[in-house]
Amino acid sequence: MASATFRIWRGNKNGGEFKDYATEVAPGMVVLDAVHEIQATQAHDLAVRWNCKAGKCGSCSAEINGMPKLMCMTRLSTLPLNQPIKVEPMRSFPLIRDLATDVSWNYSVKTQIKPFRPRKPDTPDGTWRMAQADVDRVQEFRKCIECFLCQDVCHVLRNHHLHSQFIGPRFFVYAGALEMHPLDDENRLRELRDSQGIGYCNITKCCTKVCPEGIHITDNAIIPLKER
């Protein structure tokens, strides 16, 4: 069986360092499998958040060789195993310990966005009619699993730390899903421009590049909102 070295960040908000762990790897393994193997055999106190192991819960977000990825969806066969695989926590959020970060800022941001407000019912029985063609566009946005990889990679948050003025790509997708919804009657454009910082986005498309659900965040959510 082949062996690979994983260079994993160990530490908390007061500091830390990378530590190397060599472990055996087998075909079909993903990074999360290797991290679990290391946790079980070499570093029992290694903090790592995970849940579904199927790329749908968005829990195991981390940075693998410098790129934000889901550990459970990153196959070892896609990585150069002849050199140490660097695994570190998301850098845009406060570190709790090792690979676990505090992403609660995102939940508070979500409360700032005006909720869904449907227009008056279309029929006397209090129901609405909408065409599939009209919801196709926003259904793409509903694929978001809230892994916050897009928030992590966005340089406005990552490098400039404008968390108090910029809601980040995830919430432009969320706002876009509401704003473009055929039944929604609310207007969120003023907040998006004035307090939620859509003008900070300079369209680097890094968010689109790292989205594990393949959502075209920049082209289908952010730019249409900028155009509105």
Which residues here bind other proteins, judged by CB under 8 A? 13, 63, 65-68, 80, 83, 86, 88, 91-95, 105, 108-109, 112, 130-131, 133-134, 153, 155-156, 158-165, 167, 179-182, 184, 195-197, 199-206, 209-210, 218-219, 223-224, 226-228
20 membership: H or E segment, kind and range: strand 15-25
Query: Smallest distance, Å, CB 77 to other proteins?
Result: 16
Please, which residue, 55 or 224, has the CB nearer to other proteins?
A: 224
Residue 61 φ/ψ, nearest 5 degrees: -65, 135
**Rounded (10°) CA dihedral 137, 138, 139, 142:** 150
CA 179-185-190 angle, to 5 degrees, is 55
CA dist 27 to 1, 77, 78, Å? 9, 7, 11
Query: Smallest distance, Å, CB 11 to other proteins?
Result: 11
Query: Smallest distance, Å, CB 44 to other proteins?
Result: 25
Query: Smallest distance, Å, CB 40 to other proteins?
Result: 25
Please, which residue, 51 or 160, has the CB nearer to other proteins?
A: 160
- Choose among 18, 20, 16: nearest CA to 38: 20
